[in-house]
Structure 1
C-alpha cells in the first residue's frame, strides 16, 4: 500500500513540477514576445510619424514654390508692360492687375510662413 502511495505522490509531484516548469517557460516566452512586439510597434509609429512629417514638409515646400511661381509670373508681366499714361494708371484694369499681384504676394508670404513652421530652422533664416 505504501508503494502505491509513493508512486501516486511521485506522479503528482512530477506532474505539478512539469506544469509549473511549463508555465514558467510560457511566461518567459510571452514576455519576450511582448517586448519584441512593443519595440516593433514603437519603430512603426516612429516611421509613420517621420513619414507624415516628410509629407507635410514636402507639401509646404510645394505650396510655397507654386505660389512663388504664380507671383513671379504676375510681377514679370507687370514689369514688362510699358509705363502706362497717367489716366490709365487710375483705370480699373490697371488696379486689378496690381491687386492680383498684391494678392499673389500675400499668398506667397502665407506659404512662406507654412514653410518656416514645417521646415528646419535654417529655412526661415534671412541673412
Structure 2
C-alpha cells in the first residue's frame, strides 16, 4: 500500500510540477507578447506624432512662402508704378502683405526648428527693409515722376538679389529639416 501511495504522490507531484511549468512558460510567453505589443504601439504613436509634426511644419512653411510671394508681388508693383509721391501713411496693400508675412512667420517660429525660424526671420527682415526703402525713396524731396525702379535702379536690383538670397536660404533650411525628419 505504501508503494501505491508513493506512486500516487509522485504522479500528483509530477502533474502539479508540469502544470506549474506550463503556467510559467505561458505567463512568460504572454508577458513577452504584451511587451512587444506595447513597444509596437509606442512606435506607432511616435510615428503618428512625427507625421503630424511634419504636416504642421510643412503647412507653416508653405504658408510662409505663399505670404512672401504675395508681399513680393506687392513690392514689385511699387517698384514699377509711376509716381514720385510716398504712399499714404497707414495701412496700404504692401503693408498688409508685409503683415501677412509677419503672421505666417509666427507659425514658422512655433513649428521650428531654430535654423528654419532664423532663416524665416531673415526673409521677414528683408521684406520689411525693402518696404521701408520704398517708402523712403518714394518720399524723397524733389523725387521725380516715374517708377522707383527707374530712379533707383541699383537699390531695386540689390533688393531683388537680397530677397532671392534670403528665400533660397529659407528653402534650403526647410529642405534640410524635412529631409532629416522624413
Same fold by TM (over 0.5)? yes
Aligned Cα root-mean-square deviation (Å) = 2.5
Describe the SS at the equivalent of 1:83: coil
How far residue 7 of structure 1 moved from its aligned partner, in angstroms, is: 2.9
Partner of 1:5: 5
Identify, as 1 or 2, the structure richer in helix: 1
Partner of 1:18: 18
Measure the CA separation in 2 of the matches of 1:34 and 1:100: 61
Measure the CA separation in 2 of the matches of 1:56 and 1:16: 59
User: Once the two structures are superposed, what CA deviation does each residue of 1:64-95 show, in whole Å capped at 9, x if it has no partner?
Assistant: 01111111112212221100679xx67xxxx8
Structure scoring higher RCO (CA < 8 A, sep ≥ 6) equals: 1
Q: 1:114 aligns with which of 107, 115, 119?
A: 107
User: Once the two structures are superposed, what CA deviation does each residue of 1:43-78 show, in whole Å capped at 9, x if it has no partner?
Assistant: 112111111111111000000011111111122122
1:47-66 equivalences in 2 (<5 Å): 47-66=47-66
Measure the CA separation in 1 of the matches of 2:33 and 2:69: 53
Measure the CA separation in 2 of the matches of 1:116 and 1:105: 16
Gaps of 5+ in 1: none
How far residue 11 of structure 1 moved from its aligned partner, in angstroms, is: 2.0
User: Once the two structures are superposed, what CA deviation does each residue of 1:20-55 show, in whole Å capped at 9, x if it has no partner?
Assistant: 000110111112112212221221121111111111
Measure the CA separation in 2 of the matches of 1:105 and 1:16: 81
Report the TM-score when normalising by structure 1. Answer: 0.80
Gaps of 5+ in 2: 123-182
Report the TM-score when normalising by structure 2. Answer: 0.58
Alpha carbons of 1:22 and 1:85: their partners in 2 closer, same or farther (altered >3 Å)?
A: closer
